[in-house]
Structure 1
Amino acid sequence: MDSPKTKKITINKTPKNVHPKEKANFLSHFLFCWQLKTILDCWRNEVTDDSFITPIRDHETQLLGDRLEALWNKENISRKKPSFTRTLAQFLGTKYVLFGLLYSIADTLSVYEGVVGVGIIVIFSLSQCLFFTKAVAERQKMTRERDSRLRIMNDIIFRMREIKMYALETPFAELVNKLRRCELIHMRKLNHIWNENTTIATYLDKISIYVLILLLTTTGAPLNPQLIFMSINIYNLLKTSVQHSNIAVNLMSDLKVCITRIETFLLSDHESTADTQKIEGIPSCKIYAHNLTAKWNPSQEAAIKNVDFILGCGQLVALTGDTGSGKSSLLQAILQELLIVDGNLSRDGLISYASQNPWVFSATIQENIIFNETFNQNKYLNVLKICALEYDISLFSHGDKTLVGERGNMLSGGQKARINLARAIYKDADIYLLDNPLAAMDVSVAQQIFTQCILKYLKTKSVVLITHNLKFLNYSDKVYVLEDGRVMFSGKYETLEDLPNNVQEKNNETLTKLSAKSYKAQNETKEHKGSDKVNTYTTYLFANESKFFVFLQLLLFILTQVFINGSDTFLSFWINLRQNPSNFNTTLLQYFSDVKCLYIYSGFILIMVFLFHMGSLNFVDCCNKCSAKLHDTLFNKILHGTMKFFDNHASGRIINRISNDISTIDEIIPQYMYQGARQVCSVLGVYVVVNAVNYYMILPTLILLVIFYYYVQAFRPVLNKLKRIAATRKSPIYTHVVATIDGLTTIRVSEAQKHSLSKFERYQDSYNSIRYLHQALHSSYAFWTDFTCMLYVAVVIFFLIIFKKSDMVGNVGLSITQSLLLISTIQYMIKIYSDLDSRMTSVERVAEYGDLTVEDINKNEINPPTTWPANGKILFQSVSMRYSPEKPFILRNIDVEFQAGEKIGIVGRTGAGKSSLINALFHLYEYEGTILIDNVDVKMVPLSTLRSRIATVSQDPVLFSGTMRENLDPFKEFTNCQLWSVLEEVNLKQIVSNLPSGLSSSLSETGVNFSTGQNQLMCLARAILKECTIIVLDEATAFLDLDTDKLIQATIQKRFHKATILRIAHRLDNVMNSDKILVLDDGCVVEFGTPNGLLQNMNGYFYKYVHEYENSSLNIQTYI
């Protein structure tokens, strides 16, 4: 035998390069020359989505995370009331505070001469506290609504197949739209607060000057040009600081809400506090529990109660019991995932765990199995064999290097279950906790794995197996029967004389009825071998399809700027009247008295203020309508997208669109666009005034504009590209976090926290490196803009000294102040425009989804009556289907007819096409040929009608976030009595009535309040309520105990005795009750007939399938 080949699996390992900034000298740092290579690489398209740029050492996620965690732990220990805000202040250090003080001192040194009018600015600055309080309140309300919306969107995106099959698009659309409307109400208020604050800050310098002029005029003091124009410059400087403080207030309100939520989470008791001890005094014992009581959370009833449990060395212990009896909860308690409130729990040895709901993350098959372990080729190949994965892997063109997609969406349910089990088996542990891993598999596959893997491969290990299969209980060293969280029986299977609800008797009936169970195959397989910016802006501005508001806003911007420049020009004219009276005739001097001039100047100011606020109100409303429309368009495209779209797009990217990009459109873009529009109007207005008063400044100004134009052309494409790459690199972070939460228990048991955290850090570093380059490039842009502006100021002053073309003091003062204002305005405009331009990539990304191909769920080529289908007759005529044009057909020329009311069992080997046949029936994918239901072509029927007239219960039961009532009756069609009645039929009435609010009790995401079996019962109750004539059961009772399964089968026979039932099942007793059996192989119908008729053909597929059970039983005996 070859020696084992050992290596460590690594994922996207990247070389440790040195960041270009760390290699730069002082001059390169000062002039930002180290960024030149990045700019050139972007121009040459050498920086792509896959490019890895090493982050600066001080910016590495691991380093910063460890430091922040240490500070928080210190804060948590040393303070009675820990504060995450204080921790962040310590984490950031004092340098940022010192920088802020330096800027503050620089601004203060410029203020002392403009004492009059500064009071207005001081009062406004103090009012920021009021704005901050209101902003925080609205932000918290909006965040709650947004969280609720995104939680529902998460359900929709991850459960889209089930939503389409249940035809739940309409209720989900209503729910999301309702939450969105509430979110927009608070967002509108928040944007009004911000815009009003910004508006006041924008004209604050004019009000301050007006107060100064008013005081001078009313006290009879002369209009001193030096005082007035110096004050104008000072107030302009202060206005910039106030505007920045306004932005800071908005950001601080966001930060406060964010810090509060993080602090709440950090202070919550989200980790197990149980203390397990090493077992002493009990020889050969691996797990010992005495009087163990545990809860999922302190407010709930205990999930397990007074449990005594022992697992010895090398023992196979089985847990069984009714659905929801506490079997999985006991394993979770052993894993310390439950809150232990009483009793003792001890463990001795390493634990490996296979969850009931398979956890498969977005990676290759091999990476999913190896996970955090060392790769050993011989061991790996052996695990593939004993977990019955060899044949499945051979079907994939890339073998075990095939990417399985998010949550394993490229795999069937059985394949996910076996990969999940293989991961647990591959880990070399002392104790194996297997939570019903065989339920989702075909009988022969389950039998093969039980024999080869559990009985043989793990024969020297300690194993806890949850199962409802009584044949497996017979080979257990000890059996525990649980009921309502308590152990009702423990001992050898032979001593188990009376299982609850006569399970023993039922098992005997099952064995008598079927001479064999299973088939030698696996589960079904799907084989998988910078846009135009002008258009982006118009897409945003005209998203609400109302050009009137856009042109009204444009008019308000223009009129406001006219009165701003008009007030400055009139003030210059007033000063000229008083300082240079010889240049004016006597009549003009007498007419424009100081009082009249004050009235006219007051009129300019009042109208300007009125237009400012009118423009602000209209702008917020216009942007709200635009963002609402863009969200609605995006949401509708996602909700009605084809299944092919969801197969080919990572959910993290879709969530990024609906969360991060929509948030940017909601909040950031309106702010930048408002400021940018104001700055553009200001630049145009100032340019007209300056050049009208002093024509010799036209040339320097033109040169300045040309320089800035080339700056924009140089920096803009690079900034946009880096922004786009940063947005792309954020999506894997979302995906990884979601996958980590899904598999948190497995990660903890596998001691793979560091592995998962390391992967997260790589994703975060990849994002941070690009994000830092983007921000650094902004700083470089600002530096060179400032430098050019300084040169321009020097040129302007030089021209004013050399060319004395005017004796008018007012004109000279106006030229200087407006020139200086033009400099800061152009500089700020370019910065705002650059930021806005990069943020508009969010609009671009959202608009991309506007071109998606969607399902036409309401097409009316045929509008069948409300009673359709009255009979339930189904006819497949030459039906062929594939999941995309470049892939092979998964169904080939299916010709079969199901008569009304027939019960059809569908069986077949791996990749046979069982689930694909159901996909075609629901028209989830396009297919060739014809499917007729009651002689109506389903292609002609509206999809919403077709899917709502077929009931389904799948192997992967789906409950959505919301209440029990909303899950049972999403269309609000039934009364309480009807809901309670159907819950009683599926044996859930007692469980639901024990919930705090009964039918109004909320379910957490994906229905984790219930066991998987109870989730299946809920879905069955939903199907019963629909009273359809066609029912599809895809392993509908896979996770139910035998007694509950028998009850449900009786319920199905009773409630659906007239309905056509298509049943995919691994329990052959359920299939054998069918009127006919459809056998599929390689996408073709190979047999179709009654069970007895098919069993007469000893060379037939079904005969071999049924009789494999006896062979499997003989195989078991060889290992006992």
Structure 2
Amino acid sequence: MFYVHLDAIVSKARKTLHLPLEELPPLADDDMANNLKEKHFKHIDPRQHIFFWLLHIFRWDYIVMVIMLQVKGIMVFVSPLVMNQILAYIQTPDDHHFIRPWFWIIMLLFAPLIETAAVNWFEFLAQRTLVRIESLLTELLFEHALKIRVKTTAETDDEDGEKKTSNASGKLSTLVTVDLNTIAQSADCALLFTYCPVQIILSAVFLYMLLGWSAFVGIGLTLVTFPIPSILLGWIHQVKVEQMKKTDARVQVFSDAMNMLKMVKLFGWERRMFAKVDEKRNEELTLVKKAKLIDVVYDVLSSATSAITIVTTLACYVCPLTLTLVARNVLTASIIFPALIIFENLKRYIQIAFFYTTVAVGAKVSLDRVDEFLRDSELLDEYTDTKIISDENVERIGFHNALFTWTAQVDSAIDSDYTPGRQRFVLQVRDEILFKSGAMNLIMGPTGSGKTSLLLALLGEMHFIPSAEDSWFNLPRQRGVAYAAQEAWVLNETIKDNILFGLPYNEQRYHAVLKQCALEQDLSMFSAGDLTEVGERGITLSGGQKARISLARAIYSNAEVVLLDDVLAALDVHTAKWIVDQCFSGDLLTGRTVILVTHNTTLVKSLAQYIVTVKDGTAVGSGVTNADGIPELVGLTETETEATDVEDPDSKANGDSEADGKLILAEEIQIGRSGWSSVKMYTAALAGDGGRPISTRILFFLPLTFTLVSSSLGQVVQIWYLGYWSAQFENNPPEEVRSVFHLNIYALIFVLYSIMFGCYFILFVIGGIRASVSIHARLVASVFGATLRWLETTPVSRIITRFTQDIRSVDDNFPRQLSRFIELSAVMIFRLLSIIFVFQAPLFILPCILVTSLGVVCGMVYLKAQIPVKREMSNAKAPVLGHVNAAFADLTSIRAYSAQEAFISRSLSRIDVYARTARVFYDLQRWVGVRTDVLSGIFAACVAWYILYVNKGVEAGNSGFSLNMAGNSMERITHYLNIEQEPKPTKDGVPPAYWPTTGELRVENLKARYSLDGPDILKGFNFEIRSGERIGVVGRTGSGKSTLTLALLRCIPTDGEVYYDGLPTSRLNLDALRDKITIIPQSPELISGTLRHNLDPFAEHDDHTLNDALISAGLHSLQKQLPEDSDRRITLDTIISSGGANLSVGQRQIIALARALVRRTKVLILDEATSAIDYETDTIIQSSLKHNLPKDVTVIIVAHRLQTVVDVDRIMVLDAGQIVEFDSPKNLIQKEGGYFKALVEQWNGKEGFITAMQ
């Protein structure tokens, strides 16, 4: 009852600066997420709404909670009953009943204790239920997400009836953060349906006992006016639904921006992307403001309802015959003050009903969204009733007369209603494809033909459509399947953990895998070796390193079937040859079935025993059993190259890299007290922050203060005037008391109070919206302006949490708690002053000081423990979201490895950490609540007559505690406003309007590093590039190729100088510089929306320009075999999923190239921009760039695939951060002992290169 088990935690918190997670009490077995799942998931009925499932599993808790609420409700009425008896005794003392008042005073002590026990039991159950519901729904959403078909693009209608894409990842983030938080906050909604109605009835009964039949007149008016709030409820529901849609849209836009933030920074798009996010934010805030104004109307209506009830009841009691002065009742203190308590209680019950109605509406909206996600998400065929395979084909691997699509919504390749904006891909397998077991099988074909789709169809990721009675496909999983995706997927863990992927460590096998996957040299360059954290999305690794780690994971596994999707595309010629010779031909793949997608047939042709050719979505198998049957590609065979070396040298040797390999910074945890700095920042933002003149800020705070003081004073004057009115009956005959006059004065006070009350909250809403705009804008600007280094060490999930859960707190919880705290504090001060000065009771200050001192001590001790717990609770939420997003990033790999259970186990453990902190957080709330309730009871027993005035003091104290808790979100946001920033724009950094006129580059003694105190990666580069030259940049892994591109754009710290068309770039604003240089990274970053939106996200160009760019980028050649009216053609109206998930990597690279061409800058940098494109298309692209670009455009091509740079003007060869050669290809190929010549010899020989040049 008194939560004494937390005394040790509270005591320990007093002696330490921070209370770590390990010191918190462990989670009970019944609260463990796995036990909750095992117990309750089996009761889910997919035909019913999720609400009825929750109601069923927690029904007994709800019943006990209802009983406790009724006990609490009965104890509440002890106070007015006791006051009535005490005041009646004072009015008519009875010496024979001396013991009676002491009995009532003792009741004032014990009634609150009984009430406290009931409340504690209720709160314990409510909070336990709250945590369990959040755990259950989080796990339910996660496990459901593991079953979703990943490449479907849902479409919904917007307000204008137009189609728009809906991204499941962004919605899932919002569901796990915002919606589950909203549902959790509705745990006390039992108050609305059981407690409030009963209390309103009991209030009516007690009022009847005091005021007779006149009590029912006021209550009747309350019921008559009740439909008005009901109408507002409908509005609130509509606004909440629309608000959540706008929140989803904002989070989706921001998530897209975060996922492609590197490209945004490289293109200098921060301001324009900020404008897009700000536009969505303004749409959201319009509805937030509307909802808040309706809430103000709600509050004013509740106050008005209370006023109407009291005034009407008193009018009927004092003037029974309406306005006649016949049969007057006497209004005594023993009647008016108990009645006033009941009226106050009645008002509070109505307010509680109103408040929890809005909470219930919000919870319903969120529950509906969760239910909709669970119902409407398209699942894989294995989780539906779709028949997949005949029993007789269980042991074979392959297909027979099968069709596959990316959505089950279209079950026919013919009877479909796809529009040109909805690209349909149908994969057709003619006849039979049977992969050879225990051997190497190849899948080949041009870019975008469907090679990856064939692998995914085999994995069951696509929707299977039987084209004949004997149609089937099969992939035996009994002995395991391993999968390495074309876009290498790594977890935010160590390199070793990524390779082991949950399997036991076998030292001999592990080191053999490292050797065969050419990882030993890479690991030797990391200070922590294989214990180095790879960062979120493998940010610390190059493309080649991620590809080899993904390959190593597949090789280390015990899976009999190994699926490899173009794993050679990100490797240089030397590494690729090593992988083929040592890994593909090694002992670890002997006897295993390998299915390899590749463009590079020359390296693997000696190993292949079966080939599948894919063209235009049609797959045909051939019975080739030897290398001679493998067709050669036109022209040179291609060997692709490592993508980027963004942090190769840096992550191995820089000063920031710790020996333990830690990269991701721990969640920020401020030591000590929080809240008041957040209040200060928020208060400043209420008046428009520092950007507005002081006069504007005064004009805001002056009326806000005036309305606050007026409304607080009005509450005190109401009570005082009732006492003054009742005193007139004691000092004068009833017929001499001007009841109508006093009634009018009392009503006038109520009206003025309500007006001031409403004005105060309207002003606070206006200021709150202004603060929300300011804080969100500053937060977006801070994140968009952050350095690449900060972005690399901060998980995206943590940033997304700031823009979902924490921004929601800024919009809603924090301003509500702040306004409530200010209001209640003001009321408490005025009430205490009124007792001391108006009622001339100066000694009353002594118990006030005593109780206040004890309350302050109790509160300080409580906050010392609660604040670190709240921080741990908030920080425990980000890993839950991060795990959900990490799993959602590559569901295909998780399902291919059958690793769902491992990821579910990790999810359960993260949920348990969050639940552990949440339980302690809520229990500490009741720990302090019990003690303040006891103080209140003692105080009430000591000064019984003043019970009416002391209750509010405790409430204000509790509100202050809540304010500190709500301030935790503000604290984290404040931290993000002070992160490491890139240089801000200045007036002096604006270049001339005519600049640049040429693409000339001159570099003098350029040095670059990845951190301010790190070693130089580029070591004194000096070179000059003439305008219009085509420059190739080659070199081995870690030589500094991609570092050079980042240095040219000032993305990393540099020394020396770069002159672009004669101007030193160090003096230019970053956005001005990056807007005039275009870079295309190897990993193309696309956003959800149409292809037009991806090419021109800010609508600055016409369709003719965009189509020309697509043609120059090679899309036309890629689709030349498709009819003009084919719905498989990619057009400007084609819907692109988030990240381009519905396109092949090669297609994404073509789109990224087209987007770069649209910019029409004088310098174009291609950083492995065509690595995933087949040789024929790549040749067409390079020829197009050479002949279609203006002659003054300088092109810098970073490549390991040597045929990409065969026709450049000059080639820059890098090694160990230095330029070792820089000359024409012709001269370099003839240089004896040269670096470049050695690369060519390893590739295809000198003659092959010369042939390619010719």
Match of 1:462 among 593, 599, 606: 593
Give the residue type in structure 2 aligned to 1:743: D
Shift of 1:157: 2.1
Which amino acid is 1:224 matched to? L
The residue number in structure 1 matching 2:846 is: 699
The superposition leaves residues 716-759 of structure 1 with CA deviations (integer Å, 9 ceiling, x where unpaired) of: 23222211221122111221111110121111111111211111
Match of 2:1197 among 1060, 1063, 1070: 1063
Q: How far apart are the structure 2 equivalents of 1:149 and 1:333? A: 34
1:242-295 Cα distance to aligned partner (Å, 9 max, x none): 333333223212211221111112223533124687887679843344334333
Which range moved further: 703-712 or 865-874? 865-874
Question: Matches of residues 435-514 of structure 1 in structure 2 within 5 Å?
Answer: 435-457=565-587, 458-472=589-603, 474-475=605-606, 476-487=608-619, 490-492=622-624, 504-507=633-636
Q: CA deviation at 1:1002?
A: 3.8
Aligned residue for 2:2? 31
- CA change 1:973–1:95 in 2 (3 A) is closer
CA contact (8 A) 2:425 2:1128 kept: no
Match of 1:100 among 47, 63, 66: 66
- Conserved in 2, the CA contact under 8 Å of 1:1003 and 1:1009? yes
Kept in 2: contact 1:387–1:449 (CA 8 A)? yes
Which residue pairs with 1:1029 in the alignment? 1162
* 2:208 aligned with 1:66: no
Code of the residue aligned with 2:1226 in structure 1: it is: N
1:384 shift after superposition: 0.8
1:129 to partner: Cα distance: 4.2
Structure 1 residue 540, shift from structure 2 partner: 0.3
Match of 2:1027 in 1: 900
Partner of 1:537: 679
Indicate conservation of the 8 Å contact 1:207/1:605, yes or no. Answer: no
Inter-partner Cα distance in structure 1 for 2:628 and 2:224: 83
- Match 2:1141 to one of 1008, 1022, 1025: 1008
Is contact 1:277–1:347 with CA below 8 Å preserved after alignment? Answer: no
Query: Alpha-carbon deviation of 1:42?
Result: 2.1
Provide the secondary structure at the position in 2 that maps to 1:113: helix
Q: Distance in 2 between matches of 1:976 and 1:358?
A: 34
**Partner residue in 2 for 1:812:** none
Structure 1 residues 496 and 130, CA gap change in structure 2 (3 angstroms): farther
CA distance in 2, matches of 1:650, 1:612: 44
User: What secondary structure is seen at the aligned counterpart in 2 of 1:31?
Assistant: coil
Q: Which residue is equivalent to 1:57?
A: 29
Change (3 A) 1:518 1:570: closer
From the superposition, tell whether residues 635 and 1031 of structure 1 become closer, same or farther in structure 2 (CA, over 3 Å).
same
What is the CA distance between 1:555 and its match in structure 2? Answer: 1.2
Measure how far apart 1:1066 and its partner are.
2.2
2: CA distance, partners of 1:402 / 1:764:
26
The alpha carbon displacement at 1:1105 in A equals 1.9
- Cα shift readout 1:408-464 (whole Å, capped 9, x = no counterpart): 101111111111111111111121111111111112211211222123342422111
Q: What SS does the corresponding residue of 2:1010 show, helix, strand or coil? A: coil
What one-letter code is carried by the residue in structure 2 that aligns with 1:896?
F
| Aligned AA (1:483) | K
- The partner residue of 2:778 within 609, 612, 633 is 633
Most deviating of 898-907 and 980-989: 980-989
- 1:849–1:90 Cα change, 3 Å: same
Which amino acid is the alignment partner of residue 1153 of structure 2? L
Q: Is the 8 A contact 2:246 2:283 kept in 1?
A: yes
Structure 1 residues 179 and 831: CA distance shift in structure 2, 3 A: same
Q: Which residue of 2 aligns with 1:212?
A: 313
1:119-157 deviations in Å (ceiling 9; x for gaps): 355556666544443222111111111111111211222
Deviating more after overlay: 562-571 vs 763-772: 562-571
TM-score normalised by structure 2 residue count: 0.79
Query: CA–CA distance in 2 between the matches of 1:297 and 1:937?
Result: 56
1:318 counterpart = 2:442: yes
CA distance 1:644–1:281, shift in 2 (3 Å): closer
Q: Which amino acid aligns with 1:477?
A: Q
CA contact (8 A) 1:171 1:970 kept: no
CA 1:1102 to 1:731, structure 2 compared with 1: closer, same or farther past 3 Å?
same
Contact kept, 8 Å, 2:222 with 2:309, in 1: the verdict is yes
1:934-1083 → structure 2 map (5 Å cutoff):
934-988=1061-1115, 994=1127, 998-1056=1131-1189, 1058=1191, 1059-1083=1193-1217
RMSD: 2.8
The code of the aligned residue for 2:261 comes to: M
Shift of 1:478: 2.3
Which one is further off, 354-363 or 599-608?
599-608
Gap change, CA 1:788 and 1:520, over 3 Å in 2:
closer
Corresponding residue SS for 1:100: helix
Contact 1:520 1:1105 in 2 (8 A): no
CA-to-partner distance for each residue in 1:327-368, whole Å, 9 max, x for gaps? 111111111111112231122352111111111111000001
Query: Are the counterparts in 2 of residues 892 and 1084 from structure 1 also a CA contact under 8 Å?
Result: yes
> How many Å separate the matches in 2 of 1:147 and 1:258?
12
User: Structure 1: how far apart are the matches of 2:827 and 2:641?
Assistant: 79
2:353 corresponds to 1:245: yes
Task: Describe the shift of the 1:277–1:379 C-alpha distance in structure 2 as closer, same or farther (beyond 3 A).
Answer: farther
In structure 2, the partner of 1:7 is none
What pairs with 1:165-180 in structure 2 (closer than 5 Å)? 165-180=266-281
Structure 1 pair 283–627 and aligned structure 2 pair: CA distance change class (3 A): closer
Aligned structure 1 segments of 4 or more residues deviating by more than 6 angstroms: 275-284, 493-499, 516-524
| Match of residue 1118 from structure 1 | none
State how 1:377-392 maps to structure 2 within 5 Å.
Answer: 377-392=507-522
Aligned mates of 1:534, 1:517 — CA distance in 2: 57
Residues 1:223 and 1:1047: Cα distance change in structure 2 (over 3 Å): farther
Shift of 1:531: 5.4
1:83 and 2:49 correspond = yes
Consecutive unaligned residues of structure 1, counting only runs of 5 or more, are: 1-29, 798-815, 1114-1120
Q: TM-score, normalised by structure 1?
A: 0.89
Is the 2:570–2:643 Cα contact (8 Å) retained in structure 1?
no
Q: Which residue of 2 aligns with 1:1094?
A: 1228
SS where residue 112 of structure 1 aligns? helix
The aligned residue for residue 196 of structure 1 is 297
Superposed counterparts of 1:413-452, under 5 Å: 413-452=543-582
Give the aligned partner of residue 968 of structure 2. 841
C-alpha change, 1:793 and 1:491, in structure 2 (3 Å) is same
Q: Distance in 2 between matches of 1:1091 and 1:50?
A: 62
Task: Give the corresponding residue for 1:344.
Answer: 472
Q: Work out the CA distance in 1 between the residues paired with 2:595 and 2:646.
A: 25
Go from structure 1 to structure 2 and tell me whether the alpha carbon gap of 1:414 and 1:450 turns closer, same or farther (over 3 Å shift): same
Query: 2:1100 & 2:427 partners in 1: Cα distance?
Result: 37
- 1:282–1:38 distance in 2 versus 1, CA, 3 Å: closer
Q: Which residue of 1 aligns with 2:714?
A: 563
Asked if the contact 1:879/1:929 (under 8 Å) is kept, the reply is yes
Distance of aligned partners of 1:1002 and 1:498 in 2 relative to their CA distance in 1, 3 Å threshold: same
d(CA) in 2 for partners of 1:488, 1:995:
19
Aligned AA for 1:750?
Y
- Is 1:303 the equivalent of 2:426? yes
Change (3 A) 1:170 1:367: same
Answering whether residue 1239 of structure 2 is matched by residue 1105 of structure 1, we say yes
Deviation at 1:208, TM superposition (A): 2.4
Equivalent pair of 1:443/1:517 in contact (CA under 8 Å): yes
Post-superposition offset of 1:556: 0.4
Number of residue pairs matched?
A: 1043
Residue 5 of structure 1 aligns with which residue?
none
Deviation of 1:557 after TM superposition, in Å, equals 1.1
Structure 1 residue 567: Cα displacement: 2.3
Provide the rounded CA distance (Å) in 1 between the counterparts of 2:1246 and 2:489.
28
Q: How far apart are residue 988 of structure 1 and its match? A: 3.2
Moved more, 558-567 or 40-49: 40-49
Moved more, 539-548 or 783-792: 539-548
- Equivalent residue runs for 1:553-592 within 5 Å: 553-581=704-732
- 1:935 is displaced (CA, Å) by 2.0
Say whether residues 1:366 and 2:531 are aligned partners: no
**Which residue in the other structure is 2:525 paired with?**
395
